[in-house]
Structure 1
Amino acid sequence: MNIVRGDLVELAKAGAFDVIIHGCNCQCQMGRGIALTIKQQFPEAYAADCQTEIGDRTKLGNFTIADIDRDDFNFTIVNSYTQFHWKGDGVLADYDAIRSVFREAKQQFGGKRIGYPKIGAGLARGDWAIISQIIEEELAGETHTYVEFVN
């Protein structure tokens, strides 16, 4: 796992990544954190999320994608369903869902430069030590980067 400090979205727009993966809940909200930034800057990513059923638990571990194609940049956004809801106490991140997302991402985006935030360990209150280990295992052999957010 490569680690850089910065803004994942801005780095993707600058050409650092072919694919960015971020965590979503299964409620089609994208209302806080990096999901909100993505929703605001790339409505096609939110539209892909809204094509799914609100509150469908079977979305956990799956994802939707949006190919972003602008004059100055292009990359793919992966809306990964890594938590069921944003409400509630305790850990909201689903570690099995995170594993499934990254396993499938390797199958679909192998060979591409993949970037992601501290997925599942921020607002979803998951344990980054566990999550980063899952990512390392599932993306073994791939070029992938955790972007530690710096404003």
Structure 2
Amino acid sequence: MYLFIFSVLLLIFQYVNSKNIIDKYEEDIVKVKAKLLEKEKTIKALKDKNFELSYFSIDRNEDALSYFEALGYDTEQLIPAIIDGLYDLNDYEGEDHPIVPYVSMTDSKLVINKVRVMNHKWIVANFTDGEFWGEIFVTYTIDENNDLKYKLAEYFLYPKIG
């Protein structure tokens, strides 16, 4: 009789314990699924924002890429060459940057930091001397000798605040 009661109590204990474990797992699964859904929404929003931000980029401009391909250029080599050509202008002697129309107001040289090729004619870049920042709008062409020619179209320097 004692063995029977002990067995029943043991079975009840096992049942309650297993039920609690299963309920905890189900609760955890629901929480993880909710977090996963939230992360998927965040990823979708970030992908949409990235697509929107990269709208003015030659990588997404099929017409600009077709323009270069029609002229016989390999865009996978040409676009990095365009960007590198602008960065190469950072290697200059004296105080005057070859394309940035300002002179450094610190002991550092003005350098171009970031370049975005927008299409087959336009580039936007920012520059700094470490303390002052600005941006330039540059047009570019490729001449008959396949040399890149850059021409400054617009520029500005952010005012120093503080």
TM-score, shorter chain, exceeding 0.5? no
Higher share of residues assigned strand:
1
Higher Rg of the two aligned structures: 2
TM-score tier by shorter-chain length is under 0.3
Task: Point out the structure with the larger helix share.
Answer: 2
Using the size of structure 2 for normalisation, the TM-score is 0.24
User: Given the two structures, how large is their TM-score scaled by the length of structure 1?
Assistant: 0.25
